[in-house]
Amino acid sequence: MTAKKRKEKKESKLIYVPFVLLAVFIALFFSLPYLHQSSSSSTVTQADSFGTLIKVSNKGYSNSTHVYFISWYGCPFGATLSWPLYLALSHYGYLNVSTHYSIIESDIGAPVPGLIFNGFVPNSTVQFTYLYIYNQYLNATPSGQPIPESQLIQVGLQEINSSLPSWIGALIYQWEVENPNFGFPQPIALLDNHIPSTLIITGPNGTWLMVGYPYMLTPQELLQINPSPTSLYQQIKSGNVPPQIAQAENYILQVISEAQ
Protein backbone atom coordinates (compact mmCIF):
# COMPACT_ATOMS: atom_id res chain seq x y z
CA MET A 1 0.00 0.00 0.00
CA THR A 2 1.40 3.43 -0.93
CA ALA A 3 1.90 6.17 1.64
CA LYS A 4 -0.81 8.23 -0.07
CA LYS A 5 -3.43 5.47 0.24
CA ARG A 6 -2.53 4.82 3.89
CA LYS A 7 -2.98 8.51 4.61
CA GLU A 8 -6.39 8.61 2.86
CA LYS A 9 -7.60 5.52 4.83
CA LYS A 10 -6.47 7.05 8.14
CA GLU A 11 -8.23 10.32 7.35
CA SER A 12 -11.46 8.47 6.46
CA LYS A 13 -11.45 6.79 9.90
CA LEU A 14 -10.87 10.08 11.66
CA ILE A 15 -14.03 11.49 10.06
CA TYR A 16 -16.14 9.15 12.26
CA VAL A 17 -14.48 10.11 15.56
CA PRO A 18 -16.54 13.29 16.23
CA PHE A 19 -19.78 11.39 15.54
CA VAL A 20 -18.83 8.62 17.98
CA LEU A 21 -17.94 11.16 20.67
CA LEU A 22 -21.22 13.00 20.05
CA ALA A 23 -23.21 9.76 20.43
CA VAL A 24 -21.45 8.96 23.71
CA PHE A 25 -22.11 12.47 25.03
CA ILE A 26 -25.82 12.30 24.14
CA ALA A 27 -26.17 8.91 25.83
CA LEU A 28 -24.54 10.20 29.00
CA PHE A 29 -26.62 13.38 28.95
CA PHE A 30 -29.90 11.47 28.95
CA SER A 31 -28.84 8.66 31.27
CA LEU A 32 -27.44 10.79 34.12
CA PRO A 33 -30.80 12.31 35.17
CA TYR A 34 -32.34 8.82 35.14
CA LEU A 35 -29.53 7.41 37.26
CA HIS A 36 -29.84 10.30 39.70
CA GLN A 37 -33.60 9.87 39.89
CA SER A 38 -33.29 6.12 40.52
CA SER A 39 -30.75 6.72 43.26
CA SER A 40 -32.90 9.38 44.90
CA SER A 41 -36.03 7.22 44.79
CA SER A 42 -34.20 4.36 46.43
CA THR A 43 -32.97 6.62 49.21
CA VAL A 44 -36.41 8.05 49.93
CA THR A 45 -37.99 4.59 50.06
CA GLN A 46 -35.29 3.40 52.44
CA ALA A 47 -35.75 6.40 54.75
CA ASP A 48 -39.54 6.22 54.81
CA SER A 49 -40.00 2.47 55.06
CA PHE A 50 -42.85 0.96 57.06
CA GLY A 51 -41.80 -0.44 60.44
CA THR A 52 -38.71 1.75 60.71
CA LEU A 53 -38.05 4.38 63.36
CA ILE A 54 -37.65 7.45 61.18
CA LYS A 55 -35.99 10.58 62.53
CA VAL A 56 -38.66 13.13 61.64
CA SER A 57 -37.12 16.11 63.43
CA ASN A 58 -33.85 17.22 64.95
CA LYS A 59 -35.98 18.98 67.54
CA GLY A 60 -36.78 17.24 70.79
CA TYR A 61 -40.10 17.99 72.47
CA SER A 62 -38.95 16.99 75.95
CA ASN A 63 -35.97 17.79 78.15
CA SER A 64 -35.85 14.10 79.04
CA THR A 65 -36.55 11.15 76.75
CA HIS A 66 -40.25 10.37 76.34
CA VAL A 67 -41.76 7.36 74.56
CA TYR A 68 -45.35 7.53 73.24
CA PHE A 69 -47.34 4.52 72.08
CA ILE A 70 -50.62 5.21 70.27
CA SER A 71 -52.70 2.18 69.29
CA TRP A 72 -56.13 0.54 69.59
CA TYR A 73 -57.18 -2.49 71.59
CA GLY A 74 -57.70 -4.90 68.71
CA CYS A 75 -54.77 -3.85 66.52
CA PRO A 76 -52.58 -6.75 65.25
CA PHE A 77 -49.71 -4.34 64.57
CA GLY A 78 -49.91 -2.83 68.05
CA ALA A 79 -50.03 -6.33 69.54
CA THR A 80 -46.85 -7.26 67.68
CA LEU A 81 -45.04 -4.08 68.74
CA SER A 82 -46.13 -4.46 72.38
CA TRP A 83 -43.64 -7.27 73.11
CA PRO A 84 -40.33 -5.59 72.18
CA LEU A 85 -41.65 -2.29 73.54
CA TYR A 86 -42.43 -3.94 76.88
CA LEU A 87 -38.92 -5.39 77.08
CA ALA A 88 -37.24 -2.12 76.08
CA LEU A 89 -39.19 -0.05 78.60
CA SER A 90 -38.55 -2.59 81.36
CA HIS A 91 -35.01 -1.18 81.46
CA TYR A 92 -36.44 2.17 82.58
CA GLY A 93 -39.24 1.28 84.98
CA TYR A 94 -42.00 -1.08 86.04
CA LEU A 95 -44.81 -1.85 83.59
CA ASN A 96 -48.26 -3.10 84.51
CA VAL A 97 -49.59 -5.13 81.56
CA SER A 98 -52.28 -7.67 80.75
CA THR A 99 -52.21 -10.32 78.01
CA HIS A 100 -54.58 -9.90 75.10
CA TYR A 101 -55.50 -11.01 71.58
CA SER A 102 -55.96 -8.75 68.56
CA ILE A 103 -58.81 -9.09 66.10
CA ILE A 104 -58.44 -11.53 63.22
CA GLU A 105 -57.45 -9.85 59.95
CA SER A 106 -57.75 -11.80 56.70
CA ASP A 107 -54.14 -11.30 55.60
CA ILE A 108 -52.86 -12.58 58.97
CA GLY A 109 -55.41 -15.33 59.52
CA ALA A 110 -55.36 -15.57 63.32
CA PRO A 111 -55.58 -13.34 66.40
CA VAL A 112 -52.16 -11.91 67.26
CA PRO A 113 -50.97 -12.25 70.87
CA GLY A 114 -50.24 -8.96 72.56
CA LEU A 115 -49.88 -6.96 75.74
CA ILE A 116 -52.14 -4.14 76.89
CA PHE A 117 -50.32 -1.42 78.84
CA ASN A 118 -52.08 -0.47 82.07
CA GLY A 119 -49.44 1.56 83.90
CA PHE A 120 -45.79 2.61 84.07
CA VAL A 121 -43.68 3.60 87.08
CA PRO A 122 -40.33 5.02 85.92
CA ASN A 123 -37.05 4.41 87.71
CA SER A 124 -35.04 6.62 85.34
CA THR A 125 -35.41 9.81 83.30
CA VAL A 126 -37.17 7.93 80.46
CA GLN A 127 -40.94 8.50 80.50
CA PHE A 128 -43.64 6.40 78.82
CA THR A 129 -47.17 7.37 77.80
CA TYR A 130 -49.63 5.05 76.06
CA LEU A 131 -53.01 5.82 74.51
CA TYR A 132 -55.64 3.52 73.00
CA ILE A 133 -57.87 5.48 70.64
CA TYR A 134 -60.32 2.79 69.44
CA ASN A 135 -61.96 -0.24 71.00
CA GLN A 136 -61.29 -3.92 70.20
CA TYR A 137 -63.36 -3.96 67.01
CA LEU A 138 -62.49 -0.55 65.56
CA ASN A 139 -66.07 0.71 65.74
CA ALA A 140 -66.11 2.76 68.97
CA THR A 141 -63.93 4.75 71.33
CA PRO A 142 -62.40 2.92 74.32
CA SER A 143 -65.25 4.33 76.45
CA GLY A 144 -67.80 2.72 74.13
CA GLN A 145 -69.00 5.68 72.07
CA PRO A 146 -69.85 4.35 68.57
CA ILE A 147 -67.82 5.71 65.66
CA PRO A 148 -69.18 5.70 62.08
CA GLU A 149 -66.65 4.15 59.71
CA SER A 150 -66.36 7.43 57.80
CA GLN A 151 -65.28 9.26 60.98
CA LEU A 152 -62.61 6.88 62.32
CA ILE A 153 -59.70 9.11 61.31
CA GLN A 154 -61.35 12.28 62.62
CA VAL A 155 -62.28 10.71 65.97
CA GLY A 156 -58.84 9.13 66.30
CA LEU A 157 -57.20 12.53 65.90
CA GLN A 158 -59.63 14.02 68.41
CA GLU A 159 -58.69 11.34 70.95
CA ILE A 160 -55.00 12.09 70.41
CA ASN A 161 -55.39 15.87 70.59
CA SER A 162 -57.48 15.71 73.75
CA SER A 163 -55.08 13.40 75.61
CA LEU A 164 -51.55 14.14 74.37
CA PRO A 165 -49.40 17.23 73.65
CA SER A 166 -50.51 19.12 70.54
CA TRP A 167 -47.27 18.46 68.66
CA ILE A 168 -48.05 14.71 68.60
CA GLY A 169 -51.38 15.23 66.84
CA ALA A 170 -49.70 17.59 64.37
CA LEU A 171 -46.93 15.08 63.68
CA ILE A 172 -49.35 12.19 63.14
CA TYR A 173 -51.53 14.32 60.88
CA GLN A 174 -48.52 15.34 58.78
CA TRP A 175 -46.99 11.88 58.44
CA GLU A 176 -50.07 9.65 58.38
CA VAL A 177 -53.07 11.69 57.19
CA GLU A 178 -51.84 14.57 55.03
CA ASN A 179 -48.90 13.12 53.08
CA PRO A 180 -48.01 9.75 51.53
CA ASN A 181 -45.08 8.20 53.40
CA PHE A 182 -43.61 4.81 54.30
CA GLY A 183 -43.42 3.77 50.65
CA PHE A 184 -47.20 3.94 50.07
CA PRO A 185 -48.84 5.94 47.23
CA GLN A 186 -51.43 7.43 49.60
CA PRO A 187 -51.40 8.56 53.24
CA ILE A 188 -51.44 5.41 55.34
CA ALA A 189 -54.42 6.52 57.43
CA LEU A 190 -56.49 6.85 54.25
CA LEU A 191 -55.44 3.39 53.09
CA ASP A 192 -56.44 1.82 56.43
CA ASN A 193 -59.30 4.28 57.14
CA HIS A 194 -58.05 4.82 60.70
CA ILE A 195 -55.03 6.08 62.61
CA PRO A 196 -52.58 3.16 62.71
CA SER A 197 -50.49 2.11 65.69
CA THR A 198 -47.66 4.58 66.12
CA LEU A 199 -44.51 4.72 68.24
CA ILE A 200 -42.91 8.12 68.90
CA ILE A 201 -39.62 8.64 70.73
CA THR A 202 -38.52 12.18 71.54
CA GLY A 203 -35.63 13.56 73.54
CA PRO A 204 -32.97 16.29 73.57
CA ASN A 205 -31.40 14.92 70.37
CA GLY A 206 -34.50 14.70 68.19
CA THR A 207 -37.77 12.93 67.48
CA TRP A 208 -38.42 9.55 65.84
CA LEU A 209 -41.65 8.02 64.54
CA MET A 210 -42.60 4.49 63.52
CA VAL A 211 -45.89 3.20 62.13
CA GLY A 212 -46.95 -0.42 62.56
CA TYR A 213 -44.67 -3.17 63.83
CA PRO A 214 -40.84 -3.31 63.73
CA TYR A 215 -39.67 -4.50 60.32
CA MET A 216 -37.76 -7.43 61.87
CA LEU A 217 -40.84 -8.81 63.66
CA THR A 218 -44.05 -9.29 61.66
CA PRO A 219 -47.39 -10.47 63.10
CA GLN A 220 -47.01 -13.71 61.14
CA GLU A 221 -43.56 -14.33 62.65
CA LEU A 222 -44.90 -13.62 66.13
CA LEU A 223 -47.64 -16.22 65.61
CA GLN A 224 -44.99 -18.76 64.65
CA ILE A 225 -42.98 -17.95 67.79
CA ASN A 226 -45.92 -18.43 70.15
CA PRO A 227 -49.62 -17.86 69.40
CA SER A 228 -50.59 -17.68 73.10
CA PRO A 229 -50.08 -14.31 74.85
CA THR A 230 -50.11 -15.91 78.32
CA SER A 231 -47.55 -18.54 77.36
CA LEU A 232 -45.34 -16.01 75.56
CA TYR A 233 -45.45 -13.63 78.52
CA GLN A 234 -44.40 -16.42 80.91
CA GLN A 235 -41.64 -17.42 78.50
CA ILE A 236 -40.28 -13.88 78.39
CA LYS A 237 -40.56 -13.38 82.15
CA SER A 238 -38.48 -16.53 82.64
CA GLY A 239 -35.70 -14.92 80.60
CA ASN A 240 -36.23 -16.93 77.42
CA VAL A 241 -36.71 -14.10 74.94
CA PRO A 242 -37.13 -15.21 71.29
CA PRO A 243 -34.35 -13.79 69.06
CA GLN A 244 -36.69 -11.80 66.78
CA ILE A 245 -38.30 -10.06 69.75
CA ALA A 246 -34.89 -9.39 71.30
CA GLN A 247 -33.68 -7.87 68.03
CA ALA A 248 -36.68 -5.53 67.90
CA GLU A 249 -36.15 -4.65 71.58
CA ASN A 250 -32.53 -3.68 70.89
CA TYR A 251 -33.64 -1.60 67.91
CA ILE A 252 -35.97 0.43 70.14
CA LEU A 253 -33.32 0.73 72.87
CA GLN A 254 -30.82 2.03 70.32
CA VAL A 255 -33.13 4.89 69.32
CA ILE A 256 -34.00 5.69 72.95
CA SER A 257 -30.27 5.96 73.65
CA GLU A 258 -29.77 8.15 70.58
CA ALA A 259 -32.60 10.46 71.66
CA GLN A 260 -31.12 11.05 75.13
* 118 shares a domain with 42: no
β partners of residue 132: 71
Q: 65-74 burial by CB neighbour count: b if 16+ within 10 A, else e?
A: bbbbbbbbbb
Model confidence pLDDT, tens digit, residues 8-48: 444 444 444 444 344 434 333 333 333 222 222 222 333 45
Domain end residue (candidates: 29, 47, 65): 47
* 107 shares a domain with 32: no
SS (H, E, C) the chain: CCHHHHHHHHHHHHHHHHHHHHHHHHHHHHHHHHHHHHHHHHHHHHHCCCCCCEEEECCCCCCCCEEEEEECCCCHHHHHHHHHHHHHHCCCEEEEEEEEECCCCCCCCCCCEEEEEEEEEECCCCEEEEEECCCCCCCECCCCCECCHHHHHHHHHHHHHHHCCHHHHHHHHHHHHHCCCCCCCCCHHHHHCCCCCEEEEEECCEEEEEECCCCCCCHHHHHHHCCCHHHHHHHHHCCCCCHHHHHHHHHHHHHHHHHC
pLDDT over threshold 50, residue 212? yes
pLDDT over threshold 70, residue 107? yes
Model confidence pLDDT, tens digit, residues 42-92: 223 334 589 999 999 999 998 899 999 999 999 999 999 999 999 999 999
The domain in which residue 64 lies consists of 54-259
* 101 shares a domain with 33: no
* 250 shares a domain with 124: yes
* 247 shares a domain with 193: yes
- Count of domains in the chain? 2
* 64 shares a domain with 172: yes
* 231 shares a domain with 193: yes
Model confidence pLDDT, tens digit, residues 219-259: 999 999 999 999 999 999 999 999 999 999 999 999 999 99
Order of all β-strands in the sheet with 198-203: 54-57, 206-211, 198-203, 66-71, 127-132
* 75 shares a domain with 7: no
* 28 shares a domain with 114: no
Model confidence pLDDT, tens digit, residues 158-169: 999 999 999 999
* 230 shares a domain with 143: yes
* 104 shares a domain with 143: yes
* 141 shares a domain with 34: no
Please tell me the predicted confidence (pLDDT) of residue 183.
86
